Structure 1
Amino acid sequence: MTRPMLAAAGAVAVFALAGCGSGGDDKAAVPETATGSLEHLAAEVKCKPNMQTDADEIRQALCKNTDGRFVLATFATDRGQAEWLSGAKDYGGYYLVGRKWVAVGQEKTVAALQTTLGGSMEEGSEHMNPGGSHNSSGSHHG
């Protein structure tokens, strides 16, 4: 019974290696995705977090480092993170997504954070949700 388990483990290792840094990519290699508390992640990217929300479900802070300003959020559950991202992406912006954490900021800032924290870069909607009362376009119709 150990032989199939070893074969499966070997296949996983080969698959994992095949997906990383195959030659010819324009992008720099992305490190393994960081994990940990908001304070730990902030320390990794050399920022002192300015806490905005400190609740059981989500912890969110404003951060600034040499790469720029960004929001760093950690979540108690994967579901909480998915729900937050679903709503937040309506506002546009760039999102660096890790396991139970998200960093949000300008594209260059988020790309720079990715070189330290890993994760996957996602882009929010290009435009606000039309007709939504939360639009901050500066002109209100009604």
Structure 2
Amino acid sequence: MPAVAGAAALLALAGCGSGGAAAAKTPPTATGSLESLAAEVKCAPDIQTDADTIRQAICAGASGKFVLATFSTDRGQREWIDEAKDYGGFYLVGRKWVAVGDDGVVHALRGTLGGDVEAGADHHAHTG
């Protein structure tokens, strides 16, 4: 019985270590204009909003379809994310930029752009 407990403990520790290895593979967070970020993930951005405070585009790349937005200020970015998260979804957040898409797309983009993943509100429990 102690051997089984020891093996289970080793497997648990190995599992913890593999998460660290995956995190180590995440590149430094990208910076730049909407166009340069889009070029990093090989998409031609379809610009939807081109204002002084926010630029927003729809992108379709190898990882799927997503929204890419850049902001003129950190505060403007955080306010936008905080409001958008009420609608659910997954957000890849960098300095003054965000990519929004489904979970798989956001995690695939993270492999190129770096950044932090944030999840919006979960609406699965709500009934219509």
- With the length of structure 1 as denominator, give the TM-score of the two structures: 0.72
Residue identity (%): 63
| 1:45 to partner: Cα distance | 0.2
The alignment status of 1:72 with 2:65, answered yes or no, reads: no
The alignment status of 1:87 with 2:83, answered yes or no, reads: yes
| 1:25 to partner: Cα distance | 3.1
Structure 2 runs not aligned, ≥5 long: 1-15
- Matching residue within 56, 61, 67 for 2:52: 56
Quick one: distance in 1 between partners of 2:101 and 2:119? Answer: 10
* 1:25 counterpart SS class: helix
Q: Which runs of 4+ in 1 moved over 4 A?
A: none
| 1:72 to partner: Cα distance | 0.1
The alignment status of 1:126 with 2:122, answered yes or no, reads: yes
Q: CA RMSD in A?
A: 1.9
Alignment coverage as a number of residue pairs: 109
Quick one: distance in 2 between partners of 1:106 and 1:116? Answer: 16
Residue in 2 that maps onto 1:134: none
- Matching residue within 18, 43, 50 for 1:25: 18
* 1:24 counterpart SS class: helix
Residue deviations 1:73-111, cap 9 Å, x none? 000000000000010000100000000000000100000
2:57 maps to a residue whose letter is A
Higher helix share: 2
Structure 1 runs not aligned, ≥5 long: 1-22, 131-136
